[in-house]
Amino acid sequence: MAPDLVPFNLPYSTGKELAYVAEAHRLRHLSGDGAFTRRCHRWIEQHTGCAKALLTHSCSSALDMAALLLDISDGDEIIMPSFTFVSTANAFVLRGGVPVFVDIREDTLNLDEKLIEAAITPRTRAIVPVHYAGVSCEMDTIMAIAKRHHLAVVEDAAQGVTASYKGRALGAIGDLGSFSFHETKNVISGEGGALLVNDPALAQRAEIIREKGTDRARFFRGEVDKYTWQDIGSSFLPSDINAAFLWAQLEEAERIKRERIVLWQRYHDRLEALERRERLRRPVVPDGCDHNGHLYYVLLRNGTDRAMVLRKLKERAINAVFHYVPLHSSPAGRRFARTQGELPLTVSLSEQLIRLPMWIGLSEDQQQRVCDALGAILEA
Ligand SMILES: *Cc1c(COP(=O)(O)O)cnc(C)c1O
């Protein structure tokens, strides 16, 4: 009999989502910034220490807001990794900005902070560290570089909800940060995200940009007697139906993290022998980085045929995937961005990486099957 499929991802449910959605419906406030949105904002502010949290439709749209808030315009340069999701770059390209891709660190696959300064020019406006797998970039160094060169820092913390760096929540360290609540992330609402505003000077304008360029948020708080068009903006706020769903997950966010860490650690323990025999390399989490078990990846040895490994896993009913195709090698990346030097680690590591199935409910037996299959394939 063929073994049951081990899916790559299954969206987690706390069981309370639909009750909260029904509650939002009963309250007759379905558009944005209702009671559930306010609860989510408070949760993010309390758990991260950011000055202001604002729910958005996605992490992509939170990054779009960040580019608007920083007044990114034609020719402004933004330093970021090429090993990331397209939205990190798109947000700035939409404003006329030019992503400048810098290579990543071999251990964490995060932006290599030692290469940032060489990429700075008079046009540089911002640095966008991406906390890959919920493992923090070297933020002390990055913040010091930004200060020295008067640059903004926008953390792409799409994968970093509940993770921290030296005790500080990811997303709440730079001037701005962004979270994703996409169904493939740890804490989900289908599609969803948040902008974390850490520089209080940007908070009021962030509210205006999010509400179609109006001061409606201040009007609802009774701070002005009518609301008017103040600035450019768009509709970046999700409905309270989405926020109700999200609230069920945020309430359980710390437990979700703990359960994912158990899964992460189980892979880590059971793949140690394969690493010792140099069949693969496991993730590295530097001291001071408290991660959230967002994803588990392995790096195959140079020369191992990744497509073959993925195919053989699939033959054993295991769905594993890879990412990212480096942005600098993509058609839009070549058109809109610039590359700082060669990106040897981005190129080689992105070709060796496999993400293993990771979702709450994945059983110990299923994880063992994944580890056994990897061993059998890599030691054949
Ligand atoms: C998922 C992800 C995004 C995009 O998040 P959405 O909420 O789907 O827009 C951006 N950056 C990184 C690093 C991500 O992993």
DSSP class per residue in 42-57:
HHHHHHH--SEEEEES
Distance CA 43, CA 105 (A): 32
Which residue's CA is the closest to the ligand 1 atom numbered 14? 158
Q: What is the mean pLDDT of residues 107-123?
A: 98
Q: Which amino acid is at 323?
A: H
**What is the model's pLDDT at position 1?**
60
d(CA 44, ligand 1 centre) in Å: 18
pLDDT, one tens digit per residue, over 309-343 is 999 999 999 999 999 999 999 999 999 999 999 99
Query: In what side-by-side order are the strands of the sheet with 164-165?
Result: 168-169, 164-165, 289-290
Asked if pLDDT for residue 279 goes beyond 80, the answer is: yes
Rounded Cα distance, 233 and 61, in Å: 12
Q: Which two tokens stand for residue 260?
A: 């994912």
pLDDT tens per residue across span 189-230: 999 999 999 999 999 999 999 999 999 999 999 999 999 999
**Ligand 1 atom showing the smallest separation from residue 180 Cα:** 7
**317 contact partners, CB below 8 Å, separation of at least 6:** 2, 3, 4, 5, 6
Does the beta carbon of 178 sit less than 6 angstroms from any atom of ligand 1?
Answer: no
354 pLDDT higher than 80: yes
Is any ligand 1 atom within 6 A of the Cβ of residue 83? Answer: no
* Digit-coded pLDDT (tens) for 15-61: 999 999 999 999 999 999 999 999 999 999 999 999 999 999 999 99
The residue whose C-alpha atom lies closest to atom 8 belonging to ligand 1 is 182
| Ligand 1 centroid from CA 134, angstroms | 12
Among residues 115, 183, 185, which one has the least CA distance to residue 157?
185
Q: What's the DSSP call for residue 66?
A: H
The set of residues, in sequence order, having a beta carbon less than 8 Å from that of 303 and lying 6+ positions away, is none
Percent of the chain with pLDDT over 70: 99
CA of 366 relative to ligand 1 center, distance in Å:
27
First to last CA, the chain: 23
Q: What is the pLDDT of residue 380?
A: 86
Mutate to test the pocket of ligand 1, among 135, 159, 294, 358 (most ligand atoms within 8 A of CB): 159
* pLDDT at residue 273 is higher than 80: yes
Catalogue all structural domains in the chain, each as residue range(s) with its CATH number: 17-250 (3.40.640.10), 253-378 (3.90.1150.10)
Per-residue model confidence as pLDDT tens digits over 168-197: 999 999 999 999 999 999 999 999 999 999
- The reported pLDDT for the residue numbered 39 is 98
- Tell how many helices (H) and how many strands (E) occur in the chain: 14, 14
Ligand 1 proximity of 56 Cβ (cutoff 6 Å)? no
Nearest to 358 by CA among 108, 134, 171, 57: 134
Q: Where are the alpha helices (DSSP H) in 328-378?
A: 331-336, 344-352, 364-378
Burial 3-13 (b: 16+ CB within 10 A, else e): eeebeebeebe
What's the predicted TM-score (pTM) here? 0.97
pLDDT of residue 169: 98
345: confidence class by pLDDT, cuts 50, 70, 90: very high
